[in-house]
Amino acid sequence: MLAESSDGRIRTEALHLQTEATNEFWDVTDFVRSVVANSTLKHGQVTVSTPHTTTSIVINESETGFLNDYRRAIDAVVPEDSYYEHDDHSIRTENLEEDEYINGHSHVRQLIVGQPSVTIPVVDGEVLLGQWQRVMFVELDQARPRRLFFHAQGS
């Protein structure tokens, strides 16, 4: 836990994980529910956020066929082996690091796939998701350490 209000109506937790591959999905729905359960929140919302520009948080069905369909589709729409100006260090001058990854495709995929956060309503202590909906973290770059933040607030 990172923070909790004195009365438990605000709670922020972090989850650290190690991804293993590009286009990898991590189902974090149970963790979302545990953050709400560990608070005293009855009515409000829970936000799931990633601080990484080549990852996304999505809500969808966690079904093997769909996830494989997604992987094929995103590879076709945003192929890894195309030219990305982001990766052309002969012209790029902004936000460069010493060991810069070649990952222009991952940044483009992030804008197409989803968003860095989602907010889900909480009513009577229940996280309101549809029958098949799952909250998933998506790795769009290469394997590496990642973290997520979960922030529940309300009354």
Residue 4 pLDDT > 80: no
Q: What is the DSSP letter of 115?
A: B
pLDDT of residue 126: 97
Q: What CA–CA distance (Å, rounded) separates 48 from 101?
A: 26
Structural domains in the chain, CATH included, are 3-81+102-154 (2.60.120.460)
Exposed/middle/buried for residue 16 (C-beta within 10 Å: 0-12, 13-18, 19+): exposed
pLDDT in tens, 25-60: 999 999 999 999 999 999 999 999 999 999 999 999
Question: Where does the pLDDT of residue 142 fall: very low under 50, low under 70, confident under 90, or very high at 90 and above?
Answer: very high
pLDDT in tens, 45-98: 999 999 999 999 999 999 999 999 999 999 999 999 999 999 998 888 888 787
How many Cβ atoms from other residues are within 10 Å of residue 66's Cβ? 13
**In the structure encoding, which two tokens stand for residue 98, read together?**
């010493």
- Cβ–Cβ under 8 Å, residues 137 and 145: no
